[in-house]
């Protein structure tokens, strides 16, 4: 099983990579780094430097992969500010890092999976504010709403080809960086990267034979 994980070197990404390795996958990481960071430098993990909002680079990366089964898109960014303090530059940055990267990865993943004729899986990452409006997140929420819409539109388009497309909607994830930025929060209520990775791995597996076009809440008690 050959799987792409964008954003695979981050806190959630490392857990997702681990979940796929445990299932015997070959994992390909398009990444900003020139070489694999130590925490993901393992057998069956292949890293290549790719700017995920560069159309030509993304297309070339996916075209190089034989027999692609699944593509998981974790690349993204976060910004939070009241509406009147949100600049157009921030809005455009959120759009590119969240919506544009998702669009390009989905498009090229479909092309690569389609070549196999066997179907496959795509999993995107939207966010809780898509379903539960949250103040001071206009730019972020808009970009993640685009991810949700892309997910559902692509799912409908490729269903007859047995390519199933879903998105998870996390809240705050229990990572060291998030704990540091919110030291007084109820960390025990936050979903862990390992928990999210299990949901992603299922959605990207052949055991998921039916679920597509779905926005899956993965925030539990958070």
pLDDT in tens, 66-83: 999 999 999 999 999 999
Three-class secondary structure of residue 145 per DSSP: helix
> Residues in the chain, how many?
222
Give the mean pLDDT of 170-199: 85
| CB-CB neighbours of 88 under 10 Å | 8
**Percentage of residues in the chain with pLDDT exceeding 70?**
100
Cα distance between residue 218 and residue 181, in whole Å:
21
Share of the chain residues as helix, strand and coil, in percent rounded to the nearest 5? 45, 15, 35
Cα distance between residue 105 and residue 162, in whole Å:
18
pTM of the model: 0.94
Give the mean pLDDT of 16-44: 94
Cα distance between residue 49 and residue 86, in whole Å:
31
Evaluate whether 205 touches 118 at the Cβ level (below 8 Å).
no
The β-bridge relationship of strands 2-6 and 45-49 is unpaired
Structure token digits, residue 186: 């109820």
Please write the tens of the pLDDT for every residue from 93-145: 999 999 999 999 999 999 999 999 999 999 999 999 999 999 999 999 999 99
Position 175 scores a pLDDT of 80
Whether pLDDT at 222 is above 80 = no
Give the mean pLDDT of 85-96: 98
Question: Would you call 192 exposed, middle or buried from its count of C-beta atoms within 10 A (0-12, 13-18, 19+)?
Answer: middle
Nearest Cα to Cα of residue 149 among 120, 121, 126: 126
Structure token digits, residue 34: 């020139």
Cα distance between residue 97 and residue 140, in whole Å:
10
Structure token digits, residue 111: 């092309």
Position 137 scores a pLDDT of 95
User: What structural domains does the chain harbor?
Assistant: 2-217 (3.40.50.720)
Position 214 scores a pLDDT of 97
DSSP 212: -
Give the mean pLDDT of 179-206: 89
Evaluate whether 176 touches 190 at the Cβ level (below 8 Å).
no
């Amino acid at each position: 099983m050959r799987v792409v994980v964008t954003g695979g070197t981050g806190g959630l990404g490392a857990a997702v990579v681990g979940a796929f390795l445990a299932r015997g996958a070959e994992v390909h990481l398009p990444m900003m780094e020139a070489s694999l960071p130590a925490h993901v430098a393992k057998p069956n993990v292949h890293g290549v430097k790719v700017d995920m909002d560069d159309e030509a680079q993304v297309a070339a990366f996916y075209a190089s992969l034989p027999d692609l089964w699944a593509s998981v898109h974790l690349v993204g960014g976060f910004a939070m500010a009241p509406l009147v303090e949100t600049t157009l530059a921030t809005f455009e940055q959120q759009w590119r890092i969240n919506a544009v990267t998702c669009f390009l990865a989905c498009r090229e993943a479909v092309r690569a999976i389609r070549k196999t004729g066997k179907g496959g899986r795509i999993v995107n990452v939207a966010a809780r504010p898509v379903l539960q409006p949250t103040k001071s997140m206009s730019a972020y929420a808009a970009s993640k709403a685009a991810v949700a819409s892309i997910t559902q539109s692509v799912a409908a388009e490729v269903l007859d080809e047995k390519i199933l497309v879903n998105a998870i909607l996390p809240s705050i994830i229990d990572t060291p960086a998030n704990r540091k930025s919110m030291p007084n929060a109820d960390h025990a209520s936050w979903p862990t990267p390992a928990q999210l990775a299990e949901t992603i791995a299922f959605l990207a597996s052949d055991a998921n034979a039916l679920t597509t076009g779905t926005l899956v809440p993965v925030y539990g008690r958070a």
